[in-house]
A and B are shown apart, each in its own frame.
Chain A
Amino acid sequence: MELTVDQRWDLVDRISKKTVTVGDYKATLKDALADVTVRPLTGIPFAIAVLYGFWTFFGEFAGLLTDGFFVRIFGTHWIPWIGEKLAGLPDWAFTILVGDRAVFAEGFLGDPCFAAGGVLTTGLFMPFGIVLWAVLALFLVLAVLEDTGYLPRLAVLLDTVMHKIGLHGFAVVPTLVSLGCNVPGVTAARALETRKQRFMIIALLGVFVPCGAQIGMMEELIPHLIGWVFLTLAIGYFGFGWILNKIWPGESPEILMDVPPYRAPQWSNVWRKTWMRTRHFLFVAVPFVLLGCAIVMVLYATGAMDAIAGGLEGFLATVFGVPASATPSLVVGFLRKDLAIGLLPIGAMTTYQVFKSVILLSIYFPCLATFALLLRELNWKEILATLGFLVVTIFVFGGVLNLIGMAGGW
């Protein structure tokens, strides 16, 4: 026999009357904190403080390990050493594994870590010298945030804002998780209730939310621009979210959400989570970085890169106002965006061109791992729509940024 909903609740009621006694409850410090962090007046400053702390920790931790340690190890020891050891290799092998002989002969103009370019030099430096520490720091803070129970409160706090673009407040959870890596971010979108909301958040994440690896590279190469990059991407996220909400059919209902009590994070759990995600980075992302380096060097060595760059030059310059020397970076952007940022010829571009290129790289294609996940999570109609959305976004966003630049004379 199956009961009706009313009968079942009635039975629950009678069972709990016989088995549960509820004593007096005194509000604790935890409750006070819980209250303070969801009321807009106190909650918003608290949220800003939390995110600022989050960012500071990330910057300090990653900066200490990269600039303070790994840049020196790679720059003054590993890269010159491997250049010497492998000097006897044939030209093509030397180019792919180590880098351009001319650059080595000149004793590196600028930074050897980025100038070398080979699989064993720049290819190893980027993931292990920079990105690993950035993602590790981000995964660590995110794990702590996830375990305390702060994220659902942030969701409550931002619910009103998120509803303006047809999303539920819970959408901030996948968004924040995506700042570490888009892959768990996209998976977390499953907790949203309607197809429309899941599609919207996945499309917005794939296009506008940079992952930890990209953020690490930005922090290393263009720390002075990173604020502007985030602001621009946030404008895109909300602006295009608003448009998607208007044109994509479906519902965005209000839902009830459980807000769990605050808990002290369990360190064993924080470590395990951080490690699981870092391991994913090591085994899934790093091979693509190395492959990307190899492809770029092969394209250089065979002269194919010049041909591609020549072909794209007019297009890039007219639509986006980006020089042809940014082509290699755009080519490998399909594989890994962190590598792409590392390959931008920053010295050869104006500040505004660097800014535009970083934005273009952020929005232009989700990395392969994320894309594979999109194929699993969305139906073909939604996948086509995501790709269409991507193309429109690139042209509209890139074009508008270029126009702004022209108007400002940058």
Chain B
Amino acid sequence: MNRVLLMGQSNVGKSVLFNCLAGGGATVSNYPGTTVDFDKGRMTIDGEIAEIIDVPGTFSLQSKDKAEEVALKMLEEKKDAVVLCVIDSSKIERGLYLALELIEKGCPVIIALNMADVAKDANIRIDAEKLEDLLGVPVIATVATRGEGLKKLVERMKETRPVKIEKIMKSVEGS
């Protein structure tokens, strides 16, 4: 693995995560659509240098604005990349929608359930282990602004692999 794409909807904390993992460089604001171009950085995974790319937020894989076009182009060009799908834990459904789309595309996905603190304040509880079982991809709760969960996130990046959507449907039926 030599490339990580940070993807997710807008304003879920991709750039904060990027700055933690790659040591700065991305502009962070509290409004959707801050990152309109991509930022590149380097991080170390398992002793190897990997390129990490902060991709503009995209609601789904159908682009509407120019920033989303950049995101989709990125995904097309970097086919071998691991996709770190960042989800706002307090709005998990829409995040899962994008995660499923990425999985269907055949991308090796790892999910960061970010803003775990916001979800907790809103009294939303997410069973990350169960989610991981159902999806078959690593799922880690994070609070990027405080650096929580990031070490685990990096450690488990090597476990990512493409998962068939049929398998997910079956495990959801089964349990």
Contacts and interface: CB of A to CB of B under 8 A. Distances in A.
Interface of A: 1-3, 8-9, 11-16, 18-25, 28, 143, 146-149, 151-152, 155, 170, 173, 184, 187-188, 190-193, 198, 257-258, 260-263, 266, 269, 272-273, 276
A257 B118 contact: no
A1 B130 contact: no
Interface in B23-39: 24, 27-34, 36-37
Interface string B158-175: 000000111011001001
Contacts of B169: 11
A187 B56 CA distance: 13
A202 to B, nearest CB: 12
B125 interface: yes
A261 B127 CA distance: 23
Nearest to B115: A261
Nearest to A173: B31
A146 B31 contact: yes
Given A13-B93, A260-B11, A22 B124 contact: yes
Given A16-B93, A191-B32, A193-B65, 17 more contacts: A3-B100, A8-B101, A19-B126, A19-B130, A28-B121, A146-B30, A146-B31, A151-B30, A187-B36, A190-B65, A191-B67, A260-B30, A266-B145, A269-B16, A272-B24, A273-B27, A276-B27
B73 to A, nearest CB: 13
A257 B172 contact: no
A103 B24 CA distance: 49
Nearest to B65: A193
Given A12-B97, A24-B123, A191-B65, A147 B28 contact: yes
B123 A22 contact: yes
A188 B36 CA distance: 7
Contact of B92 (A20, A23, A151): A20
5 contacts: A8-B101, A15-B135, A22-B123, A151-B31, A191-B36
B64 interface: yes
A191 to B, nearest CB: 3
B131 interface: yes
B70 to A, nearest CB: 8
B172 A21 contact: no
B66 interface: yes
B10 interface: yes
Contacts of B93: 12-13, 16
Contacts of B29: 143, 146-147, 151, 273
Interface residues of B, number: 47
A147 B34 CA distance: 11
B80 interface: no
Contacts of B46: none
A198 B125 contact: no
A146 B11 CA distance: 12
Main secondary structure of the interface of A (DSSP, over half): helix
A18 B122 CA distance: 19
Contact of A2 (B28, B104, B122, B135): B104
Given A13-B93, A18-B134, A19-B127, A269 B11 contact: no
A143 to B, nearest CB: 8
B28 A23 contact: no
Contacts of B30: 146-149, 151, 260, 262-263
B150 interface: no
Contacts of B72: none
Shortest Cβ-Cβ A-B pairs, 4 listed: A191-B33, A23-B123, A190-B36, A146-B29
A15 B174 CA distance: 12
Contact of A260 (B16, B31, B37, B164): B31
B165 A19 contact: no
Contacts of A14: 172
A149 B96 contact: no
Contacts of A8: 97, 100-101, 104
B104 A1 contact: yes
B107 to A, nearest CB: 13
Contacts of A260: 11, 30-32
Contact of A15 (B27, B124, B172): B172
A82 B61 CA distance: 61
